């Protein structure tokens, strides 16, 4: 039943040409080279070191790996990560 509701909501958003990230709460990651990442619609910070930042999203986890990583700012809805980002993984 839940899958049916999700499918209906997804089809409605698609047919009305609404932005998926806003309507469905999808994670949005914007990278500027390998030095900065802006993340929107995350749920929480699971792990934070200067080599790994692991975030919880609505439907997955995302990890940023690299060196000298830091969270420059964060709110309940978005954040900015900077440093030398070597990889981004979705789990």
* Residue appearing with tokens 């975030």: 55
- Fold exhibited by the domain 25-90: Immunoglobulin-like (2.60.40)
**In the chain, domain spans:** 25-90
Q: What's the rounded Cα separation, in Å, for the pair 84 and 33?
A: 9
DSSP letter at 69 equals E
Look at the pTM and tell me if it is higher than 0.85: no
pLDDT tens per residue, range 18-60 = 455 544 468 899 999 999 999 999 999 999 999 999 999 988 8
Q: What's residue 18's pLDDT?
A: 47
- Of 22, 57, 58, 28, nearest to 40 by C-alpha is 28
């Amino acid at each position: 039943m839940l899958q049916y509701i999700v499918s209906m909501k997804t089809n409605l958003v698609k047919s009305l040409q609404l932005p998926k990230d806003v309507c469905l709460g999808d994670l949005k990651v914007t990278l500027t080279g390998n030095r900065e990442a802006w993340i929107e619609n995350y749920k929480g910070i699971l792990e934070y070191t200067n080599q790994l930042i692991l975030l919880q999203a609505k439907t997955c986890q995302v990890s940023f790996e690299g060196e000298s990583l830091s969270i420059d700012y964060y709110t309940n809805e978005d954040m900015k990560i900077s440093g030398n980002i070597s990889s981004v993984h979705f789990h």
